[in-house]
Structure 1
Amino acid sequence: MKSVYLVAIIITILIGSFFNWILCCDAIAEEVVVERTVVEKTLPVNPLIIEDSTGTFSYRTNDNFNFHESDFIILRPLENGVDEGIEKLNDYISPNEQKFIDVTGFYAANERNNSAFPNLGLARANSVKNHLIAMGISSKKINTYGEIKEDLVVNDSIYVGPVAFLITEDSNFKNAEAVIARIKEEPIVLYFETGKSTITLTDEQRAKYLDIVRAMDKVDDISVVIYGHTDSTGSTENNMALGKGRAEFIKSYLVRNGIPETSIETISKGEQEPVADNNTTEGRAKNRRTVITIK
């Protein structure tokens, strides 16, 4: 009889332990789910909103374009809500010649502008513009702007959605022929130290670069051409290679700043077309140049 009681006690202990294990694990799982939900809700959100200021189109999603601090390259992968909105936007504005999309990029005062554009906001807007083009929207339909803004949403050095969209009935590129003529007459001229291929654009050069980008967006059959020049130091053969290398360096810089590689041509002039006397230090400095224009 004692053995029967002993067996019953053991069975009772085993059953109790089993149910205790089940209930305990369920509680832990529930606690983990609750904790994860709380974390997700604390993440900053800056919704992507696209609206027609004179029509009925409206789209909103909590997904958006994000960027690292002081950078203008879109962080990928993009969430589904972004491209879904762009597809609907394309369906809406493409059939209507009077509709354009304004893309405004924002930046904070403490961010560094390492782009070729006048400000980081314009660089971000241009990156978004290129994504819209890849999604099928014509570049002629897109206007880009840049603005400083201090209340941007930031999460661990990532700027969440520092862009704004608005559908309008106006193109921001006026007098195309005059702009193109001015670029050809006053191209961007960059100077190099002997044997070096590094450059920093001035404010004036950044403004000219913006004109080049907008001209390429709005006018058909134009492209960028980069001429590399050197002084007469060294052999003619080496100078032709150096001129080509400088032009290619600038090409890679422009590609990173949003101009398609297929729209850029590089030509080396070497020492063949000096603009100053190669017998003087000042003259040689002027001859070591790269010229960016359009054709």
Structure 2
Amino acid sequence: MSKKTSYILGIVLTIILGTILYYFVCCSVCCGKESCENKQKETKSAVVPEIKDATRNAFMIKDANGDLNIEMNDNFNFKTSNFSILDPVSGAVESGVLKLKDYLLGNPLKTVGITGLYKSDETNNSAYPNLGLARANSVKNYLVLHGVPSKQIDTYGELNDGINPDDTSTLFGPIEFGVLTSDPSDTSSMDELKTACDAIRANPLVLHFQTGQASISLTKEQRQKIADISHCVDKLGVKIQVVGHTDNTGNAAHNVVLGQQRADFAKGYLIKNGILDSNIETSSQGPKVPIADNATEEGRAENRRTVITIN
């Protein structure tokens, strides 16, 4: 073997030996042999996202203490982060609602509970404390429009991350129903409701916004107040009173019109959130009832308000 060949062979052996030593020493000591093997595996296989089947909850209403038993595959459907019922509602569901109406009218001590389900990754754009309660309220209105007495309906919201939408972001049946029988001698629930309604009258919901504003941002407490107001309307048959107020800047007659516009805007917001038009009355006081000093900008801002209460 020539000297030149021996030299080249030595270089090749050095490279091979260096590579082997690098693998066993660096991978095992510096980053851990197991870690290196995992990294190699990661480069060989792509991450495949988990695909979950869409949840499809059936429309079921059963009375354990009666003869009502309604069950069908269809139900009320919603888009994710939305509380409006998707059209069309199937004929089977409409037929089930009419059976429920007849059953409740014939059993005035029975109530149907509607529980709306929602996921933690949904956005709540409603006026209610959670999206589930907003969905339950939408279904309640559907029932009322089909003749079910609102006094015999209770609404709830429940977090449930076990429900999955389809690939069009549709949630199939995030609604559950239950039937209860009331005890006429137990007035505790009605007493609690009347206390909550009196609290609304003593401390109404007050909104501050400008006419033309596209949306209303509510606090947690304000959302709960709207839920309480809706409950008072359903159970006691009261009306919602929406009154617009202004500061004393400008023409008095114009301010009355401006106050009415603010009241109408708030009414539209309530209707959008599932409170029936027939349950809302609006009016304007213009600048007549200030609650702060109109001599300051802060006081005028307080006076530019819309008050929502019940009669």
Q: Distance in 1 between matches of 2:280 and 2:213?
A: 22
Aligned counterpart in structure 2 of residue 259 of structure 1, from 275, 290, 293: 275
Q: How many residues align?
A: 253
Q: Distance in 1 between matches of 2:132 and 2:54?
A: 23
The answer to whether the 8 A contact 1:53-1:166 is kept is: no
2:177 counterpart of 1:177: no
Q: Distance in 1 between matches of 2:93 and 2:211?
A: 47
Structure 1 residues 195 and 98: alpha-carbon distance in aligned structure 2, compared to 1, 3 A threshold: closer
Secondary structure of the equivalent of 1:94?
helix
The aligned residue for residue 32 of structure 2 is none
Aligned counterpart in structure 2 of residue 279 of structure 1, from 272, 295, 302: 295
The aligned residue for residue 137 of structure 2 is 126
Aligned counterpart in structure 1 of residue 78 of structure 2, from 51, 63, 67: 67
In structure 1, the gaps of 5 or more residues are: 1-41
Q: What TM-score, normalized to structure 1?
A: 0.80
Task: Kindly report which structure 2 residues correspond to 1:220-231, keeping only aligned pairs within 5 A, or say none.
Answer: 220=237, 222-231=238-247
Aligned counterpart in structure 1 of residue 150 of structure 2, from 139, 149, 156: 139
**After superposition, what is the alpha-carbon deviation per residue over 1:105-161, rounded to whole angstroms, capped at 9, x for unaligned?**
001111111111111101100110111112211111111000110011311201110
| Superposition deviation, residue 58 in structure 1 | 1.8
Secondary structure of the equivalent of 2:156?
strand
Structure 1 residues 286 and 149: alpha-carbon distance in aligned structure 2, compared to 1, 3 A threshold: same
| Superposition deviation, residue 75 in structure 1 | 0.6
The answer to whether the 8 A contact 1:50-1:60 is kept is: yes
| Superposition deviation, residue 199 in structure 1 | 2.3
Secondary structure of the equivalent of 2:266?
helix
2:222 counterpart of 1:205: yes
- Partner letter of residue 270 of structure 1? G
Task: Kindly report which structure 2 residues correspond to 1:1-295, keeping only aligned pairs within 5 A, or say none.
Answer: 45-155=56-166, 156-170=168-182, 173-175=189-191, 176-193=193-210, 198-220=215-237, 222-295=238-311
In structure 2, the gaps of 5 or more residues are: 1-52
Identity rate, percent: 45
- Partner letter of residue 221 of structure 2? E
Q: Distance in 1 between matches of 2:198 and 2:63?
A: 34
Secondary structure of the equivalent of 1:106?
strand
Structure 1 residues 194 and 286: alpha-carbon distance in aligned structure 2, compared to 1, 3 A threshold: farther
The answer to whether the 8 A contact 2:85-2:138 is kept is: yes
Secondary structure of the equivalent of 1:103?
strand
- Two-structure CA RMSD over aligned residues (Å): 2.0
Q: Distance in 2 between matches of 1:195 and 1:134?
A: 30
The answer to whether the 8 A contact 2:97-2:143 is kept is: yes
Secondary structure of the equivalent of 1:245?
helix
Structure 1 residues 107 and 43: alpha-carbon distance in aligned structure 2, compared to 1, 3 A threshold: closer
